[in-house]
Amino acid sequence: MTGTTRRHLNILVAEDDEFTREFMEAMLRQRGHEVVMMRDGRQLLEAVVKAEPRFDLLLVDAQMPHVDGMEATRQLRRTLAGSTLPIVCVSARASGRSEAEGREAGVDAYVTKPCWDEQLFAVIRDVLQARGVLTAEEEI
Amino acid sequence: MVLRNSSSGGVLLDLNLAKALREPGLVASLCDASQEPLALCYGPEHVLLHANLGLQSLLGQRLAPGRPFKSAAPGLSNGRLHAALDRVFGSGVTEHIELFGGVSLWVAPWPADAGDPSGVVLAAGKAVGGDREQALARREAELARREAELAAREARLGAPAAVSPLETQVLGTVSYELRSALHVLMGYGSLLRRELGAHASTRAGGFLERILGVTGVLGQRVDDLIDLELIGQGSFQLDRKPVAFGQVLEQAAVRVRDRARRKGVQFEVVLPARLPMLLADEGKLGSALDKLLDNAVKFTAAGGLVTLRASAEAEHVACQVGDTGVGIPAGQLLTIFDAFNGAARAGGGLGLGLVLGRAYVEAHGGELCLDSQVGLGTVCSIALPLSPPRSA
At residue B234, the 3 state secondary structure works out as coil
Determine the 3-state secondary structure of B376 from DSSP.
coil
Under an 8 A CB cutoff, do A27 and B190 touch? yes
What's the gap in Å between the CA of B84 and the closest CA on chain A?
42
- Please check whether residue B2 touches A, CB under 8 A: no
Q: How far apart are CA B271 and CA B91, in angstroms?
A: 41
Pairing mode of beta strands B119-128, B38-42: antiparallel
Interface residue of A23, A33, A59 to substitute, partner B, most B CBs within 10 Å: A23
pTM above 0.80, yes or no: no
| ipTM for the whole complex | 0.88
Q: Flag whether pLDDT at B307 surpasses 50.
A: yes
Q: Indicate the burial class of A36 (C-beta count within 10 angstroms; 0-12, 13-18, 19 or more).
A: middle
Q: Cβ A92–B233 below 8 Å, yes or no?
A: no
Residues in chain B: 392
Task: Read off the pLDDT band of B9 (50, 70, 90).
Answer: low
Q: Write the DSSP symbol of residue B50.
A: E
Q: How confident is the model at residue B142 (pLDDT cuts 50, 70, 90)?
A: low
pLDDT at B60 over 90: no
> What is the number of CB-based contacts under 8 A between chain A and chain B?
58
**Residue A1 pLDDT exceeds 60:** no
Look at residue A98 and give its three-state secondary structure. helix
Q: Is B77 on the interface with A (CB under 8 A)?
A: no
Q: A18 at the B interface (CB within 8 A)?
A: no
Report whether A89 contacts A110 (CB < 8 A): yes
Q: How does DSSP assign B149-188, residue by residue?
A: HHHHHHHHHSS-TTS-HHHHHHHHHHHHHHHHHHHHHHHH
CB B328 within 8 A of CB B300: no
Q: Which residue of B has its CA nearest to A18?
A: B184
Number of helices (H), then strands (E), belonging to chain A: the values are 5, 7
Distance of alpha carbon B184 from the chain centroid: 33
Res. A20 pLDDT band, cuts 50 70 90: very high
* A-chain residue closest to B177, CA distance: A92
Chain B residues 184-203 with a CB less than 8 Å from chain A: 184-188, 190-191, 194-195
Chain A partners of B168 at a C-beta cutoff of 8 Å? none
Option in B176, B188, B219 nearest A23 (CB): B188
**A96/B190 Cβ within 8 A:** no
Going by pLDDT thresholds of 50, 70 and 90, the confidence category of residue B382 is: very high
Q: Which of A69-78, B48-57, B346-355, B371-380 has the lowest mean pLDDT?
A: B346-355
Mean pLDDT, to the nearest integer, of B269-288? 92
Residue B149: half-sphere exposure toward Cβ, Cα within 13 Å? 10
Partner-chain contact B180 A117, CB within 8 Å: no
∠ Cα B165 B166 B171 (to 5°): 95
Q: Does A95 touch chain B if contact means CB atoms closer than 8 Å?
A: yes
- Give the helix/strand (H/E) hosting B132: helix B132-157
Mean pLDDT of B189-204: 88
Which has the closest alpha carbon to A117: A87, A95, A88, A138? A88
Q: Pick from B190, B222, B230: which is nearest to A116 by CB?
A: B190
CA distance A14 to chain B (A): 14
CA-based angle A64:A68:A70, to the nearest 5? 135
DSSP state of B351: S
Whether B176 and A93 lie within 8 Å, measured CB to CB: yes
CB burial of residue A47 (10 Å; 0-12, 13-18, 19+)? middle
